[in-house]
Amino acid sequence: MTREHYGQELNDLRSSVVAMASMVDKAVNNAVVALVQRDVAIAQQVVADDRAINEHRWRTEEQALLVIATQAPMAKDLRMIAAVIHIVTDLERMADHAAGIAKIALQTADQSPLKPLVDIPRMSEIARSMLHDAITAFIEDDEASARAIVSRDDMVDALYEQIYRELLTFMLADPTTIDQATHLLWVAHNLERIADRVTNICERVVFAATGQLEELAVSTY
Amino acid sequence: MSVTLDERAIKSGVNDAGAVVSLHDLRVFYGNFLAVTGVTFDVPKHQITALIGPSGCGKSTVLRCINRMNDLIPGARVEGQILYHGQDICSDQVDPVEVRRHIGMVFQKPNPFPKSIYENIAWGAKINGITGNMDELVERSLRQAALWDEVKDKLQESGLALSGGQQQRLCIARTLAINPDVILMDEPASALDPISTLKIEDLMRELERQYTIVVVTHNLQQAARVSDQTIFFSLDEHRHGVLVEAGRTRDMFTNPRDQRTEDYITGRFG
């Protein structure tokens, strides 16, 4: 087959995306673990690791631009590279949200929990599984799977809604809980945004596979 | 009995339906060998149509059919139709010289006449029956070919003394002087350096406002840069040239329909 070196460069780009997604998944998981377990060390590590994720994003983007400049990619190759540039941007923003959750974990570590955290870990679990499946769809160039993931964002939105109402109830009943409740609301908001970013990734997977740019889901928030 | 081209139809475009040239089920034989078959596409007015494909797939053969240049090849035979402003120019009754007055050609290797720059333009115009102010015609043609400023002070010097890129623009000016309707270009920049190539491409973009251009090119980036429509040819299992896909250039290079097109433009062979 001709253009073996070029083919390898395209594979390297895909691998870069997978590697970055793995870093982001770990960040999201550890941020919520740090919050639930009030673990300062884990939270600090998530904040520190965000820098490495940012640098990975820039390196991947440079890699993509280099392939464009030197190999003149066309058609599906060009669409895949364009998708990579957008996907690593979304992944970097997801990592920022994870770092935001970790910072809240640091701020609230010495406070007694307002309530057992059940829905927040559940939101995290769904968002992470969406991310895993979206990256798999990207690697396998699977339009149908990418489209199917988007409906799970509704579950994340529903949990966010539930958390909001529950925390509102706490705040109305006892204003001294406002500070803690607000922090938890921000955590839920960050997770909701993470799931939304995954739907963006799904849109780019569909684009890479079909050449069609379309909005797969409209965010409620 | 010979048939004259309908000048009124050519000028008014009344028979065009958007396409100046239409090829219908064109087949070209060299002797008994079927070189290219089943070629059907339209050439839209005031657009650049690029013909791309691997070597030997028939794209230059098809190009040469449009202005009857294949008549000059012994044993070449054309079947099917090529409509020029609604008139079939493949007919034996149509004078190929008359066709070539309306459909000019620029070749891969610049081929100025061994004459002065001035005579390169004026001589061809005169023998094609163009009269009037030759000085004006020469200046206008050279300006249209973006060459005037470089040669206006040396019009009596030989055209062969110009650089490769200048020679090619001189050949384009020569073609423009006889006021064609369509310009065919067979790899017009492949013998030129990168800067001259880009100047030719800029010129093509300027010229398409007034003319209709069909260009054969091996340079995929060039086809992507300059053309509005791209036609991809390849070889079938019998080694006959076939038209695989035709479409808007923006679509062909971002989302081609046929896997063979995708493989060719991404360079996947083997």
- Tell me the chain B residues in contact with residue A72 when contact means C-beta distances shorter than 8 Å: 220-221
Residue B169 has pLDDT above 90, yes or no: yes
- Tell me the chain B residues in contact with residue A76 when contact means C-beta distances shorter than 8 Å: 255, 262, 266
Least confident of A174-183, B2-11, B81-90, B245-254: B2-11
Kindly report the CATH class assigned to B7-265: alpha beta
Question: Among B87, B79, B11, which Cα is nearest to B45's?
Answer: B11
What is the Cα–Cα distance from B62 to B36, expressed in whole angstroms?
8
Q: How far is B39 from chain A (nearest CA, A)?
A: 24
Average pLDDT over every residue of B161-179? 95
Q: What is the pLDDT of residue B18?
A: 75
- Tell me the chain B residues in contact with residue A213 when contact means C-beta distances shorter than 8 Å: none
Interface test with B, best of A8, A74, A77 (most B CBs within 10 A): A74
Q: What is the pLDDT of residue B14?
A: 66
What is the Cα–Cα distance from B98 to A212, expressed in whole angstroms?
47
Q: How far is A10 from chain B (nearest CA, A)?
A: 12
B253, A75: Cβ pair inside 8 Å?
yes
Q: What is the pLDDT of residue B16?
A: 64
Strands B33-44 and B212-216: unpaired
Q: Over chain B, what is the mean pLDDT?
A: 93
B255, A3: Cβ pair inside 8 Å?
no
Q: And the tokens for A14?
A: 């895909």
Helix (H) or strand (E) holding B41: strand B33-44
Q: How far is A153 from chain B (nearest CA, A)?
A: 29
pLDDT tens digits, one per residue of B10-27 = 777 666 667 999 999 999
| Intervals of chain A under pLDDT 70 | 218-221
Average pLDDT over every residue of B105-133? 93
| CATH placement of domain A4-210 | 1.20.58.220
How does residue B34 score in pLDDT terms, banded at 50, 70 and 90?
very high
A75, B270: Cβ pair inside 8 Å?
no
Q: How far is B270 from chain A (nearest CA, A)?
A: 4
What is the Cα–Cα distance from B18 to A13, expressed in whole angstroms?
44
Residue B1 has pLDDT above 60, yes or no: no
ipTM of model: 0.77
B269, A1: Cβ pair inside 8 Å?
yes
- Chain B residue closest in CA terms to A82: B254
Where along chain A do its domains lie?
A: 4-210
Q: How far is CA B97 from CA A196, B5, B6, in A?
A: 66, 11, 15
Going B169 to B174 to B179 to B185, the CA torsion angle's sign is negative
A74, B255: Cβ pair inside 8 Å?
no
pTM attached to this predicted model: 0.86
Inter-axis angle of helices A4-37 and A178-210, to 10 degrees?
Answer: 160
Question: Among A220, A200, A197, A193, which Cα is nearest to A100's?
Answer: A193
Picking from B220, B224, B254, the nearest residue to A211 by CB comes out as B254
B266, A72: Cβ pair inside 8 Å?
no
Q: And the tokens for B45?
A: 């007015």
Q: What is the pLDDT of residue B146?
A: 93
Cβ-contact B186, B108 below 8 angstroms = yes
Where along chain B do its domains lie?
A: 7-265
Residue B270 has pLDDT above 90, yes or no: no
Question: Among A124, A107, A105, A111, which Cα is nearest to A193's?
Answer: A124
Residue B203: partners with Cβ closer than 8 Å, 6 or more residues away: B145, B146, B169, B172
Q: And the tokens for B42?
A: 């339209």
